[in-house]
Amino acid sequence: MSEDKTIYRPSQEIVEAAHVPDYDALREEAAQDPPGFWAARAEELLDWYEPWERVLDDSDAPFFKWFTGGKTNVVLNALDRHQRTATRNKLALVWEGEDGTLKTYSYFALNREVCEFANVLRSMGVKKGDRVTIYMPRIPELLMAMLATAKIGAVHSVVYGGFSVEALGERIEDSESKVLITADGGYLRGKIVPLKEIADEALQRCGTVEHVVVIRRTGEPVHMEQDRDYYYDELMALPVARSAGDGSETEVMDAEDPLFLLYTSGTTGKPKAILHTHGGYQVGTATTLKYAFDLKPEDRWWCAADPGWITGHSYIVYGPLILGATSIMYEGAPTYPYPDRWWRIVERYGVTILYTAPTAIRGLMRFGDSWVKKRNTSTLRLLGSVGEPINPEAWRWYHEVVGKGECPIIDTWWQTETGAFMITPVPSFPLKPGSGTKPFPGVQAEVLDDEGNPVPPGEEGKLVITTPWPSMLRGIYKDPDRYIEQYWSTYEGKYLTGDSAKVDEDGYFWIIGRVDDVIKVSGYRLGTAEIESGLVSHEAVAEAAAIAIPDEIKGNVIHAHVILKAGSEGSPELVSELKAHVGHEVGPIAKPTHIEFVDALPKTRSGKIMRRLLKARAMGLPEGDTSTLEG
């Protein structure tokens, strides 16, 4: 990656309009008393049923608690309070289907539908604390399902629609969900993704689900299991949905009660469920969105992620709704039917802020400037990036062609675990392409060497967060030991991010990439273990090792090494079959681009696969230190 030393300064107009005119001063002020900073934001931006007694309880670290004694529900702030102000008449959501369907919801309409959906879920026996799995295309009902679940105090677990049978089944089983909310299908690149069919197969492998709610998106006939599966529109027409009208009660929750589980890939083994709670998570998402993107009432905010990932949870669903913003949501692929689809959306709905991933930018950049230029994108005032480091070429194209050289690029570094932005600029701050600039106020980050000492400027080390923050994960569901081991055992009292980074002379942070067995493919977070278990579940495979190889558009692609069982022969047909198998079991996003048949895998004497060596070999690089290689 070539480095760009240019410093991009915002225009006077942007500085004057900025919510945070002097970022360094605010950061310094917050650093004096981070809990005090967050408490002030919790008062400024949110309503509470009852105020908290303690801002931060660190008596059982690293099991930190925030705003203890406070009573809230994310729905109180995302929907209920807006019904009492002019925001009730404002657009909450403008949705465009890939097929061109347009749907809009005011805060009033969104609330009504969420209330009715909540009534339906209650009538099915879903109670406070119960888990509900949501497996849906990018349609408004996905938001409603999340909000309805939260409203009644249940815990949602959204599984991204690009995951498949085994991934879905595993997540349903681990969360012990009673209810699954899904759809007959969704549209992607003009084709139907058969979500219900995948869900049916997943349900055969796990046994906790009692009811399935099916949203009709495509209208295609699907199998409906008697006394288990119900169509959403039919349920919503029942008197039970309307029983309480739009006055359906929002459950009063403790600040520390669970809001959702979101499965994500870690260092080893199966994906783990990251737990977030009602109180601190709201404070983190609302504060970061307001400050980093200067969100104003006249904005039209478009976070182009999927609600199935943390970016969508925090910045499609909760953050924007809490702030009473108008969001744009689009169901399908950026290039369908032509590569100007996104720019048409910007033009058609007057988008002012676009937040997306470098992989999408690179993917669109490849079609050239003309697709952007023929659309009116002049409403854009800020651009955002997330998910992986953005290379300077993509940064400049985004800045110059999409943003006409006038829109600051807000490069936000954060994780499923952090719940909200951790390292990010604000619009008034000078930018360096490829750097997320500095930690957000109230966040303390360092880059350390293996001994735990801060590395000198410009040197690579491990990125850690040194003080707790309100939207931090509250643990891994059902696995407190793994929480401690994965995040808190490398450096005493410091949160290990799993990323390597550098800090330059000006204190700007530069993220380099993951240092564990997590792979970022097109910005999607996958574990090598997930891909490998997808491969070894095929009858011909004895052992597998997956690694990431750099790719110009996707950031990384998956390269899998496979040892076949005796009696199986490697062939191009088998390569295709294995790719299809991983697609069916784990999901299309986990399909390896390359599969190489090998007789052995390099391992350490303790039996660990040496992925570093596999990567060096695959890329034709020097093998480095091989002294731990088994003899």
Q: Which residues sit at the interface with ligand WTA, rule CB under 6 A? A: 264, 309-311, 385-389, 411-416, 436, 497-499, 511, 514, 520, 525
For residue 177, the minimal CB distance to ligand WTA (Å) is 21
Number of CB atoms found within 10 A of residue 493's CB: 12
Nearer to ligand WTA, 158 or 213 (CB): 158
- Which phi and psi angles does 179 have, rounded to 5°? -125, 140
Nearer to ligand WTA, 267 or 604 (CB): 267
Q: Provide the 3-class DSSP secondary structure of residue 155.
A: strand
- Which phi and psi angles does 610 have, rounded to 5°? -90, 85
Nearer to ligand WTA, 185 or 436 (CB): 436
Nearer to ligand WTA, 248 or 311 (CB): 311
For residue 387, the minimal CB distance to ligand WTA (Å) is 5
CA pair distance 504, 497, nearest whole angstrom: 19
- Which phi and psi angles does 609 have, rounded to 5°? -70, 135
CA pair distance 546, 598, nearest whole angstrom: 12
For residue 514, the minimal CB distance to ligand WTA (Å) is 5
For residue 361, the minimal CB distance to ligand WTA (Å) is 12
Nearer to ligand WTA, 87 or 285 (CB): 285
For residue 158, the minimal CB distance to ligand WTA (Å) is 13
Nearer to ligand WTA, 329 or 496 (CB): 496
Nearer to ligand WTA, 113 or 388 (CB): 388
For residue 69, the minimal CB distance to ligand WTA (Å) is 30
Q: Quick one: which H or E segment has residue 461? A: strand 461-465
Nearer to ligand WTA, 183 or 409 (CB): 409
Q: Which tokens sit at 534?
A: 């997808």
Q: Provide the 3-class DSSP secondary structure of residue 27.
A: helix
Place of tokens 């079959």: 577
For residue 285, the minimal CB distance to ligand WTA (Å) is 12
Q: Quick one: which H or E segment has residue 613? A: helix 611-618
Nearer to ligand WTA, 389 or 439 (CB): 389
- Which phi and psi angles does 21 have, rounded to 5°? -70, -35
For residue 56, the minimal CB distance to ligand WTA (Å) is 24
For residue 145, the minimal CB distance to ligand WTA (Å) is 21
Q: Provide the 3-class DSSP secondary structure of residue 83.
A: helix
Q: Which tokens sit at 436?
A: 């997320």
For residue 521, the minimal CB distance to ligand WTA (Å) is 11
CA pair distance 338, 334, nearest whole angstrom: 8
Nearer to ligand WTA, 311 or 428 (CB): 311
HSE on the CB side for 464, CA within 13 Å? 24
CA pair distance 454, 133, nearest whole angstrom: 42
CA pair distance 320, 382, nearest whole angstrom: 15
- DSSP string covering 559-572: EEEEEEPTT----H
CA pair distance 520, 523, nearest whole angstrom: 5
Nearer to ligand WTA, 278 or 462 (CB): 462
CA pair distance 39, 57, nearest whole angstrom: 13
Which neighbouring-strand residues pair with 577?
Answer: none
Nearer to ligand WTA, 497 or 533 (CB): 497
Number of CB atoms found within 10 A of residue 223's CB: 10
CA pair distance 462, 95, nearest whole angstrom: 40
Nearest CA-CA partner of 470 in 336, 265, 287, 331: 287
Q: Quick one: which H or E segment has residue 228? A: none
Nearer to ligand WTA, 387 or 470 (CB): 387
8 A C-beta contact, residue 34 and residue 283: no
Number of CB atoms found within 10 A of residue 594's CB: 14
CA pair distance 193, 631, nearest whole angstrom: 48
For residue 385, the minimal CB distance to ligand WTA (Å) is 6
For residue 569, the minimal CB distance to ligand WTA (Å) is 38
Cα 323–Cα 93–Cα 367 angle in degrees, nearest 5: 105
For residue 219, the minimal CB distance to ligand WTA (Å) is 33
For residue 421, the minimal CB distance to ligand WTA (Å) is 9
Q: Provide the 3-class DSSP secondary structure of residue 216.
A: coil
8 A C-beta contact, residue 610 and residue 604: yes
Nearer to ligand WTA, 164 or 437 (CB): 437
With a CB cutoff of 8 Å and minimum separation 6, the contacts of 76 are 47, 48, 49, 250
Number of residue whose CB is nearest ligand WTA: 416
For residue 181, the minimal CB distance to ligand WTA (Å) is 22
Q: Which tokens sit at 154?
A: 């249940």
For residue 440, the minimal CB distance to ligand WTA (Å) is 12
CA pair distance 498, 511, nearest whole angstrom: 11
Which neighbouring-strand residues pair with 547?
Answer: 559
CA 538 to chain centre: 29
CA 383 to chain centre: 18
Nearer to ligand WTA, 177 or 311 (CB): 311
Nearer to ligand WTA, 232 or 355 (CB): 355
